[in-house]
Amino acid sequence: MEMLINVPETVVADALRGMAAAHPELAVDVENRVIVRKDAPVAGKVGLVSGGGSGHEPLHGGFVGPGMLSAACPGEVFTSPVPDQMVRAAAAVDSGAGVLFVVKNYTGDVLNFDMAAELAEDEGIQVAKVLVDDDVAVTDSLYTAGRRGTGATLFVEKIAGAAADEGQPLERVEAIARQVNENSRSFGVALSACTTPAKGSPTFDLPSGELELGIGIHGEPGRERRPMMTSAEIAEVALDAILEDLTPRDPVLVLVNGMGATPLLELYGFNAEVQRVLGERGVPVARVLVGNYVTSLDMAGASVTLCRIDEELLRLWDAPVRTPGLRWGM
């Protein structure tokens, strides 16, 4: 196993210590596994809390900061955080305006955030929840009932985070988050398997010269396995799947996301093909984001996410943001 780590047992704690040293604007509780904006709670502001298994960085801890999340709860690698983390995060960011939980549709995350919401409400914290389920590749998987939550999580956290920073009430922030999710669809492809520190070997068998279409961010199987395809061919397949399920009535946000081991040279080339296909299909593009944002450790591959937007959602997308993983306008 060739990894830049000490031992598998401390990989998350070590990463959190390093994050704390790199980002003094964040309060990183290594022992309790909670990352919070240092200025939280902000008076009159809805708190935004998300979280999930580690291994998807910068999701979620890298999206904590002005214009996005108030706090994040990292679990062990590919393992849901526990309710105690979520309650601690909610209490740290609650200003009395309520807290919105942004939850990816994975069984462990859903169950633990549901339990955390009940516990937080017992402590007098008003909580709302939004479930992200944007992946069109499969209906059910090893980790989910229903569609998986993938790239649209970034869109939900950014746009709802901007609304919360404007002082919009909990009901409105929740409605905006739901609108973003309902108008987003994603599709991913793996060129290689990922390797978890604990296992030390690939999490699934993907022979050389083959790829997996519709992969999940934990390496869950997709729709089918095929011989290696060109970037142009992959873009066609991914967007066929997305546009079969999403009819763009408005311009779209586009996320071309690397799965962790795909260099920007390849991602920008893939984006060129994505833009070509969208142009051929007559889909207007409002904004494009290219990079590694919702990853799967060292998996090679990419995902595409489209989100239909109106003028209000675009305004919120363009609003300033300052986090370790995403920043503009500040």
Catalytic residues: 56, 218
* Strand ranges (E), 163-260: 184-190, 210-213, 224-227, 252-258
CA atoms 52, 6, 262, 287: torsion sign: positive
Q: Report yes or no: 315 and 67 within 8 Å, Cβ to Cβ.
A: no
Instruction: Tally the residues of the chain.
Output: 330
Q: Report yes or no: 305 and 314 within 8 Å, Cβ to Cβ.
A: no
Q: Compute the distance between CA of residue 171 and CA of residue 146 in angstroms, rounded to an integer.
A: 25
User: Shortest CA distance to 230 belongs to which of 270, 261, 259, 265?
Assistant: 270
Report angle CA 300, 293, 20 to the nearest 5 degrees.
Answer: 115
Q: Compute the distance between CA of residue 189 and CA of residue 114 in angstroms, rounded to an integer.
A: 30
Residue that the structure tokens 């890298």 belong to: 62
Q: Compute the distance between CA of residue 202 and CA of residue 181 in angstroms, rounded to an integer.
A: 31
φ, ψ (nearest 5 deg) of residue 114: -65, -45
Tokens of 257: 């996301």
Q: Between helices 152-165 and 170-182, what is the axis angle to 10°?
A: 160
